[in-house]
Amino acid sequence: MATNERCAACGGPLLGNYYTLIDRPERYCHGCITTRLRCATCGSPLGDQHWKLHDGRQQCGLCHATAIYEPQVARAIFDETVSALVAYLEMRLNVGVAFRLVDAPTLEGIRAAGSSHPPRGFNTLGLYQRRGHIRAIYMLYGLPRLTFRTTVAHEYAHAWQGERCPLLSDHELREGHAEWVAYQHLRWLGCHKAAERMLTAPHPYRKALERLMALERQLGVQAVNPYMTRVE
């Protein structure tokens, strides 16, 4: 190992063992990986320069660099994402869905008061909820742009399921389909590396996504959504 390598958090020289995070080039010393606070978004040890959000989350420079803080910007990306899903995967909604950019305690409150999705213990980045006649996607503010887009695509898929296969009780199929829509959106954006990571990185919905990938191989991309409207 080159002797001029330095810890990405404290800048100290990496003399012995070093530590890395999955899919990230940064290397950290033992002290930083064990004691430093972690970025609320990506989990990397926070360096001396980091950003504190008003709801208490602390974010690393890399996440901050592309983070969506402004409601108008969030709205524009939300609309772009939905347009792409309608154009490419024909996921038009009849009733439609509202969009809200919220902070972490608000999102947690909505999650706790409503459905069981996503389950407790997940780092909740966004959620779709229908209460009475109000259908809305709630997204956490301050997410990096690509994370924001894939989460919007995932939650929009749940909104679509609510209209097109509302009685579908197979939880794994629902989540697998939402992940598959996010995966397709990344490919549509040309983010092939990020799409590939969804298939290789450890994630609670990995197995569900693999089931949908098998379905895609069997039916073809354009036949997956029609299939979803027929299963029970």
What's the gap between Cα 105 and its chain centre?
Answer: 18
| Among 14, 32, 89, 143, interactor with Zn ion by CB under 5 A | 32
Q: Does 159 bind Zn ion (CB under 5 A)?
A: no
C-beta closer to Zn ion: residue 124 or 175: 175
Question: Whole-number minimum distance, CB 59 to Zn ion, in Å?
Answer: 6
> How far apart (Å, rounded) are the C-alpha atoms in residues 168 and 220?
21
Shorter beta-carbon distance to Zn ion: residue 28 or 72: 28
- Phi, psi (degrees; rounded to nearest 5) at 126: -165, 165
Kindly give, in sequence order, each residue whose CB lies less than 8 Å from that of residue 141, ignoring residues fewer than 6 positions away: 53, 68, 69, 71, 74, 101, 102, 103
Near Zn ion by CB under 5 A: residue from 14, 39, 89, 209: 39
Residues 6+ away with beta carbon under 8 Å from 183: 195, 198, 199, 209, 213
Residue 195 in the binding site for Zn ion (CB under 5 A):
no
* Closest CB 226 distance from Zn ion, rounded Å: 20
Among 21, 42, 93, 191, binds Zn ion (CB under 5 A): 42
CB of 118 to Zn ion, least distance (A): 6
Interaction between residue 53 and Zn ion (CB under 5 A): no
| Alpha helices (runs of H) in 19-70, residue ranges in sequence order | 30-35, 61-65
Segment near Zn ion (CB under 5 A), from 16-24, 52-60, 98-106, 131-139?
Answer: 52-60
The yes or no reply on residue 40 touching Zn ion (CB under 5 A) is no
Query: Does residue number 165 form part of the binding site for Zn ion (CB under 5 A)?
Result: no
- In sign, the C-alpha dihedral spanning 119, 205, 195, 19 is positive
Nearest to 174 by CA among 219, 107, 232, 96: 232
| Contact string 88-127 vs Zn ion (x = CB under 5 A) | ----------------------------------------
Contact region for Zn ion (CB under 5 A) — 3-11, 65-73, 106-114, 187-195?
3-11
DSSP single-letter state for residue 19: B
Distance (Å, whole) CA 97 – CA 88: 19
**Interface with Zn ion (CB under 5 A), residue from 14, 18, 27, 29:** 29
Give the residue with the Cβ less far from Zn ion, 178 or 194: 178
CA angle 59, 129, 111 (to 5 degrees): 50
Binding flag, residue 60, Zn ion (CB under 5 A)? yes
Strand partners, 136: 98, 129
Establish if 9 lies at the interface with Zn ion (CB under 5 A).
Answer: yes
- Which stretches of the chain bind Zn ion, using CB under 5 A? 7, 9-10, 29, 32, 39, 41-42, 60, 63, 175, 178
